[in-house]
Amino acid sequence: MTNNLVTKSATIDPSHKIEQPHKSSVIRFGVVGYGYWGPNIVRNLRSLEGCEVVGICDQTPAARKRIQAAHPGIPVHSDFHELVNSADIDAIAVITPAWTHFELAKAALKNGKHVFVEKPFTSKAAQAEELINLAEQKHLQIMVDHTFLFTGAVRKIKKLLKEGTLGKLYYYDSTRVNLGLFQHDCNVIWDLAPHDLSIMNDLIHKDAEAISATGQAHVNEFEDIAFITAYYPDKMIAHVNVNWISPVKVRTTLIGGEKKMLVWNDLEADEKLKIYDKGVDVKSQEGVYNLLVSYRSGDMWAPQVEQVEALRLELNYFIECIAKGHKASNDGVAGLRVVQMLEAASESLRHRGKLVYL
Amino acid sequence: MTNNLVTKSATIDPSHKIEQPHKSSVIRFGVVGYGYWGPNIVRNLRSLEGCEVVGICDQTPAARKRIQAAHPGIPVHSDFHELVNSADIDAIAVITPAWTHFELAKAALKNGKHVFVEKPFTSKAAQAEELINLAEQKHLQIMVDHTFLFTGAVRKIKKLLKEGTLGKLYYYDSTRVNLGLFQHDCNVIWDLAPHDLSIMNDLIHKDAEAISATGQAHVNEFEDIAFITAYYPDKMIAHVNVNWISPVKVRTTLIGGEKKMLVWNDLEADEKLKIYDKGVDVKSQEGVYNLLVSYRSGDMWAPQVEQVEALRLELNYFIECIAKGHKASNDGVAGLRVVQMLEAASESLRHRGKLVYL
Amino acid sequence: MTNNLVTKSATIDPSHKIEQPHKSSVIRFGVVGYGYWGPNIVRNLRSLEGCEVVGICDQTPAARKRIQAAHPGIPVHSDFHELVNSADIDAIAVITPAWTHFELAKAALKNGKHVFVEKPFTSKAAQAEELINLAEQKHLQIMVDHTFLFTGAVRKIKKLLKEGTLGKLYYYDSTRVNLGLFQHDCNVIWDLAPHDLSIMNDLIHKDAEAISATGQAHVNEFEDIAFITAYYPDKMIAHVNVNWISPVKVRTTLIGGEKKMLVWNDLEADEKLKIYDKGVDVKSQEGVYNLLVSYRSGDMWAPQVEQVEALRLELNYFIECIAKGHKASNDGVAGLRVVQMLEAASESLRHRGKLVYL
Amino acid sequence: MTNNLVTKSATIDPSHKIEQPHKSSVIRFGVVGYGYWGPNIVRNLRSLEGCEVVGICDQTPAARKRIQAAHPGIPVHSDFHELVNSADIDAIAVITPAWTHFELAKAALKNGKHVFVEKPFTSKAAQAEELINLAEQKHLQIMVDHTFLFTGAVRKIKKLLKEGTLGKLYYYDSTRVNLGLFQHDCNVIWDLAPHDLSIMNDLIHKDAEAISATGQAHVNEFEDIAFITAYYPDKMIAHVNVNWISPVKVRTTLIGGEKKMLVWNDLEADEKLKIYDKGVDVKSQEGVYNLLVSYRSGDMWAPQVEQVEALRLELNYFIECIAKGHKASNDGVAGLRVVQMLEAASESLRHRGKLVYL
């Protein structure tokens, strides 16, 4: 990753009110892929001002039928090139399996389209770098769909960290387990961990130095359970527990800081975030055995978390970035970082925990 | 660990009714250490038939005061040797900090006393081996206080596994986190993980092959957060998440099997165990992409868990093992195995996840 | 309520597979009311075979706009009479405020339409009786939208009761509280209790004998918190706690039986139902003080609950009842019974708990 | 209840630091009844300064054996009169079945002893009044054991109400259900409701005006499930749900106020209290239908609750009241008030919800 990749820093705060871009600059979208996630992309794009959906593409006839039923007025395509080659399209949303992202995004960029790419950005870091360079040359935008960054919970945590509420960060410990959905082309790390890695990177604001991962495949050749440790500077440590064969669904993250600690339970309807006035106070005295460790335990506080559709906020931010020429915070570089960590984790996992430097 | 260490297999099932040993063979106990755990040892020993407490020792005057107040009739000592050298004592309970176990247990064994040793058995595997050999030579019993093995929950899980309810085991994933108690002589692994390691070994009935561990120290020189992966044969994987600086207390273990899956939440008053008829069925077809993975989801079942005081059951089992000359299942060898895993985990942790073979 | 109201018993089990009626007898629906619940009615009717939606009516321009946007092909009306007078309509769904049900349903029945009426059936029992008689005369169907009866949870409970799993019923105790939604035309009883009353009647299969209710209005003239006790034969007692000004949302029902007890927590994603092998065994001896009461405590069991959209199942059942000429179990008589209980509860509440016989 | 019963108002705040009374005024206690609760009374009295236990009495030989084992130095009696007649005793703690309270407390007062009486104070209001008058004449103290008032949770709630945090009170809604313990001499109201009634009275600081109660007996002649509504002035309403035959244990109280609302879950280890910034704002406009009701929803806050043994605090308060001649807040009058409400509830229950004025 060379420095020239980072040119114009993102100055847009995704948390602020949605401002609609100028009517004159309506972004015309083509959407590729109408499987599980694609319908949400189309629905949100259609509900936003400043853009319109001018074509949707999917290779399977069944998906095309569903497109026609849900969006009667919009042209449906079976061949991706019809969208990429269209002069009427400004941006392509790539909502297909991960291993197809590179080829599709590359073709889109080459044809002068901005791209919005489903996570993980690409299957290999080298591919992500190539796309980033291509976008730079063409002055085009890449946004990687790290949707969680736009949820009320993550935005609130980010605000709390920015304000110093938690103090110096000690650890980030996420558990993301449930039964299924088995993928046919990747292990549980590539499926579930991108959420945590993108959130960690966004919150910690430092680059992880090294990764150790362990795991096991039971059902087919792909690991269905895995544990990732990421070492960050300043003794910050992150851990991600991902599992496709858990009997219960868990989406819980503990974030420990010097001043306060936080629990984020994403399955709670209300009270997703709880901030604990708990911690450890250390008074150094002479000698190791005289180190005084005392515990602090005070009130708990559950701030209200804004209930917005994260994807809507993210897509609006993409439109805004294009309209104003800003680079997004979840741009190709952020996506590349996650892919690098996924690669490192997979390599470490193959060697049973061996440390892999980033 | 040589074969001669394992001589006479334990045929006593700790789950069966407490049978009292013959009155003629009342075991006379000396208890060393009256800090946090010692009072529970004394209370239980005094309530059991087949044994009596004939002396308690602690180096600190405050503890000796507490002994006198709670147990007016029992002789109190400040010097350990008074217990070890007494001809009136058959067994010594060593309930002191881990780094003192070896010296105290060795002296007790040398003087012909059976020993009951708090977990972890010793600070080093070599020490544990020496104690085991010494006990063999002297025909004495060692029991390591792996109390959790005697809880209703673990005994129920063991029964379920024995009956094949879960099928082939896939994984064991334990989270054991809370605020404190910081130790002054060891990291969080040596403090909290012995529970999980002893349970894992007891349930899985196979020896782990290798360990990878990661973690970080924040408050003093000892790691306060750590993650251990143990690789067992046949693709079985175990993971332990231990943390001294968590804002919430968690004691949850997921156990995944081919047929069923289990959640053990030890903080639940009722319904500690939940067994889920959930899983993955695989039908192999031609080619990788044709592998059919389907999900099974049925009823959940929370068996009643016997509510007994585990420590009482364990101490009664110790008395019985002494009286009948049986070797305990949680004997020195079981204790050694845990110490070997703790050593391996600590070494791996120092090298940031490097695989350490056992 | 005269006996002639109940003519042909409903022999259709709503739990069985959805059978589609003959194509030749497609039921043409007009839907009146497109506020909060109306859109769900239309969406489900459109997705079912055996029926079609041929017109939707709402008095407010905003609602009509939403109809047009969501259902471009369907005629939109502002005047209810256009639907009622149409020869092309077989059935009318009345999804409007409760105080309008009578007038709308009566007009529909008079014009030979079957009616599907939102709960509560009517504002007064006398109105409900008039509608039932009218439908009888015209050989038309009335179904009252007691949606909860078609949920997987209630259907499972009904099955368990039918099989005698719980034994003789002791009590039904429901808590249904949350913040809002304040109604402008009724108190919390008329808003929330119809759910519980319809479920109770369906499960208990006996008529309540008398009702006592208490409550209080705080914010406006309508009670926002209320407690209803219904006395059933054979010492069965039911209690409903409804509250619009609760800080937390609770949807929990305890059902106690002689053999087993059940907890239904409708807010649980999984494990909505838990059946406890708990209870009281009584051995009568001589004299009151010698009555031996012992407690039973065994396993807990959470049966899998079918996840279906209850409303879809209910509407399909309505179509089937019309096609086959069966009377629905949630027909006008069932709706009348609920209205009678609501009237009794309101009268009792006004007199602070005074017993009102049904 | 005549006015002269209330002479000297309790100015002692039970929440303040425990101050030990003068050594010179050590209160000598006799304890009557060593069943379920008695041992806790004795243990706490023995651990407090300012008092000593000089005799314990129980009619059953088994209980006397247990006393001797646990408290070797203390004289054990089988005849209550030996304690009452002893010149060496200043105060009697009556920890026996409710129907014996009157006779025992009366004898103690007549013999010039202060009395600490288990809840409920007496079986009849007339008895309570007689005891209060007797104590007045003799210048003796009565404290009724409403232990819950001294828990950290109730004291915190009281503080919040005093500070106006919740605003004007709307409702108090308690659920106190579990399996057993069946009593042989009273129904579930007399067993469980005294807790709630004493807390309500203490928190609301107004006298309830009338009571309506419903319930049912299933297992023997005593009601095992009951629902009590108490009407307080100013539209404040209280509700208590008590049940001996519930499969799950619930101890949850909702308290709704104009400004904020509170949930007290006494079964939570931490976070027993949660205060919600939720509520309803009403803007009156012209006409009923124009009344604007809007919802407020903000942060949740769980204040730390002091963890003290409530009974210890209460007994210390009793000692202090005796030493300083203050009348306790939980004195005979407070106990009488609860008995009056229990009587009213039982009468209402017999008449199926009939309103009974207090």
DSSP state letters, C109-136? HHTT-EEEEESSS-SSHHHHHHHHHHHH
Do residues B108 and B176 both lie within one domain?
A: no
Min Cα–Cα distance to chain D from B272, Å: 14
Q: Are the beta carbons of B266 and B252 closer than 8 angstroms?
A: yes
Q: What is the pLDDT of residue A239?
A: 98
Q: What is the pLDDT of residue B282?
A: 72
pLDDT at C16 over 70: no
Q: What tokens does D13 get?
A: 């705040």
> Which of C210, C263, C274 lies closest to D352 in CB terms?
C210
In a domain, B228, yes or no: yes
D159 close to A (CB below 8 A) = no
Is the four-CA dihedral D309, D312, D315, D320 of positive or negative sign? negative
* Distance between CA atoms of residues A212 and A344, nearest Å: 8
Q: What tokens does C173 get?
A: 């105790």
Which pLDDT tens digit goes with each residue over A3-40?
333 333 333 344 444 444 444 579 999 999 999 999 99
Do residues D105 and D170 both lie within one domain?
A: no
In a domain, A248, yes or no: yes
CATH number of the structural domain spanning residue C9 = 3.40.50.720
- Asked if C184 and D289 come within 8 Å (Cβ–Cβ), the reply is yes
D120 prior amide bond cis, ω within 30:
yes
Q: What is the pLDDT of residue A8?
A: 34
Do residues B298 and B209 both lie within one domain?
A: yes
3-state SS class at A77:
strand
Q: Are the beta carbons of A139 and A113 closer than 8 angstroms?
A: no
- Determine how β-strand C169-179 pairs with β-strand C91-94: unpaired
Q: Which chains touch D (3 or more CB pairs under 8 A)?
A: A, B, C
Do residues B135 and B177 both lie within one domain?
A: no
Q: What tokens does B38 get?
A: 């010692």
Place of tokens 């005549």: D2
D247 close to B (CB below 8 A) = no
Per-residue pLDDT of chain A (358 residues; tens, 9 = 90+): 333 333 333 333 444 444 444 445 799 999 999 999 999 999 999 989 899 999 999 999 999 999 998 888 899 999 999 999 999 999 999 999 999 999 999 999 999 999 999 999 999 999 999 999 999 999 999 999 999 999 999 999 999 999 999 999 999 999 999 997 666 678 999 999 999 999 999 999 899 999 999 999 998 889 999 999 999 999 999 999 999 999 999 999 999 999 999 999 999 988 999 999 998 877 665 554 555 667 888 899 999 999 889 999 999 999 999 999 999 999 999 999 999 999 999 999 999 999 999 9
* Distance between CA atoms of residues C83 and C56, nearest Å: 8
- Determine how β-strand B225-231 pairs with β-strand B237-243: antiparallel
Q: What is the pLDDT of residue C124?
A: 96
Q: Between residues B105 and D47, which one has the greater pLDDT?
A: B105
In a domain, A182, yes or no: yes
pLDDT at B288 over 60: no
Do residues C165 and C282 both lie within one domain?
A: yes
- Determine how β-strand D169-179 pairs with β-strand D237-243: parallel
- Asked if D270 and A304 come within 8 Å (Cβ–Cβ), the reply is no
* Distance between CA atoms of residues D353 and D131, nearest Å: 30
Q: Which chains touch A (3 or more CB pairs under 8 A)?
A: B, C, D
Chain B to chain C Cβ contacts (< 8 Å): 29
Q: Which residues contact A32 (CB under 8 A, 6 or more apart)?
A: A56, A57, A58, A80, A83, A92, A93, A94, A95, A96, A104
Q: What is the pLDDT of residue B268?
A: 93
In a domain, D264, yes or no: yes
Do residues D130 and D180 both lie within one domain?
A: no
Q: Are the beta carbons of A98 and A346 closer than 8 angstroms?
A: no
D181 to A45, C113, D46: CA distances (angstroms):
61, 57, 28
Arithmetic mean of pLDDT, B103-127: 97
Return the closest-CA partner of residue A318 out of A21, A43, A5. Answer: A21
C232 close to D (CB below 8 A) = no
C291 to B185, C297, D36, D182, D220: CA distances (angstroms):
59, 20, 20, 11, 8
Return the closest-CA partner of residue A40 out of A306, A310, A317. Answer: A310
Average pLDDT of chain C to the nearest whole number: 90
D233 prior amide bond cis, ω within 30:
no
CATH number of the structural domain spanning residue A238 = 3.30.360.10
Return the closest-CA partner of residue A27 out of A52, A58, A59, A62. Answer: A52
In a domain, C349, yes or no: yes
Min Cα–Cα distance to chain B from A202, Å: 21
Do residues C65 and C138 both lie within one domain?
A: yes
Q: What is the pLDDT of residue B23?
A: 45
Q: Between residues B72 and A293, which one has the greater pLDDT?
A: B72
D156 close to C (CB below 8 A) = no
The DSSP call for residue A353 is T
* Max CA separation in chain D (angstroms): 77
B302 close to C (CB below 8 A) = yes
Do residues D18 and D136 both lie within one domain?
A: yes
Min Cα–Cα distance to chain A from C75, Å: 18
Report the domain count for chain D.
Answer: 2
- Asked if B216 and A227 come within 8 Å (Cβ–Cβ), the reply is no
Beta bridge partners of C76: C56
Q: Which residues contact A43 (CB under 8 A, 6 or more apart)?
A: none
Q: Which chains touch C (3 or more CB pairs under 8 A)?
A: A, B, D
> Which of A297, A298, A301 lies closest to D299 in CB terms?
A301
CA-based nearest residue in chain A for residue D304: A299
| Cβ neighbours of A301 in D, within 8 Å | 299-302
Return the closest-CA partner of residue A244 out of A223, A213, A267. Answer: A223
Residue D284's domain comprises 152-307+342-357
A280 close to B (CB below 8 A) = yes
Neighbouring C-beta atoms of residue D315, cutoff 10 Å: 27
D216 close to C (CB below 8 A) = yes
Do residues C224 and C291 both lie within one domain?
A: yes
Min Cα–Cα distance to chain D from C214, Å: 7
CA-based nearest residue in chain D for residue A276: D302
> Which of B175, B179, B218 lies closest to A235 in CB terms?
B218
In a domain, B276, yes or no: yes
Q: What is the pLDDT of residue D3?
A: 37
Do residues D237 and D158 both lie within one domain?
A: yes
Return the closest-CA partner of residue A328 out of A146, A90, A101. Answer: A146
Min Cα–Cα distance to chain D from A257, Å: 20
Q: What is the pLDDT of residue D6?
A: 32
Q: What tokens does A55 get?
A: 């074509």
Do residues A15 and A144 both lie within one domain?
A: yes
Which pLDDT tens digit goes with each residue over A250-288?
999 999 999 999 999 999 988 999 999 998 877 665 554
* Distance between CA atoms of residues C59 and C38, nearest Å: 13
Min Cα–Cα distance to chain A from B354, Å: 5
Q: Between residues A281 and B177, which one has the greater pLDDT?
A: B177
* Distance between CA atoms of residues D204 and C243, nearest Å: 20
Q: What tokens does C264 get?
A: 């239904």
Q: What tokens does A54 get?
A: 């001018």
Q: Are the beta carbons of D339 and D128 closer than 8 angstroms?
A: yes
In a domain, D336, yes or no: no
Sheet with C51-57: list strands edge to edge: C76-77, C51-57, C27-32, C91-94, C114-118, C142-145
CA-based nearest residue in chain A for residue C72: A72
Left if phi > 0, otherwise alpha if psi is -120 to 50, otherwise beta: which for B83?
Answer: alpha
How many residues make up chain C in this entry? 358
- Which of A35-49, B234-248, C172-186 has the lowest average pLDDT? C172-186
C117 to C149, C189, D39: CA distances (angstroms):
15, 18, 62
Do residues A76 and A31 both lie within one domain?
A: yes
Per-residue pLDDT of chain D (358 residues; tens, 9 = 90+): 333 333 333 333 444 444 444 445 799 999 999 999 999 999 999 989 899 999 999 999 999 999 998 888 899 999 999 999 999 999 999 999 999 999 999 999 999 999 999 999 999 999 999 999 999 999 999 999 999 999 999 999 999 999 999 999 999 999 999 997 666 678 999 999 999 999 999 999 899 999 999 999 998 889 999 999 999 999 999 999 999 999 999 999 999 999 999 999 999 988 999 999 998 877 665 554 555 667 888 899 999 999 889 999 999 999 999 999 999 999 999 999 999 999 999 999 999 999 999 9
Q: What tokens does A353 get?
A: 């925990």
D61 close to B (CB below 8 A) = no
* Distance between CA atoms of residues B358 and B287, nearest Å: 37
In a domain, A337, yes or no: no
Min Cα–Cα distance to chain B from C320, Å: 30
Q: What is the pLDDT of residue C358?
A: 94
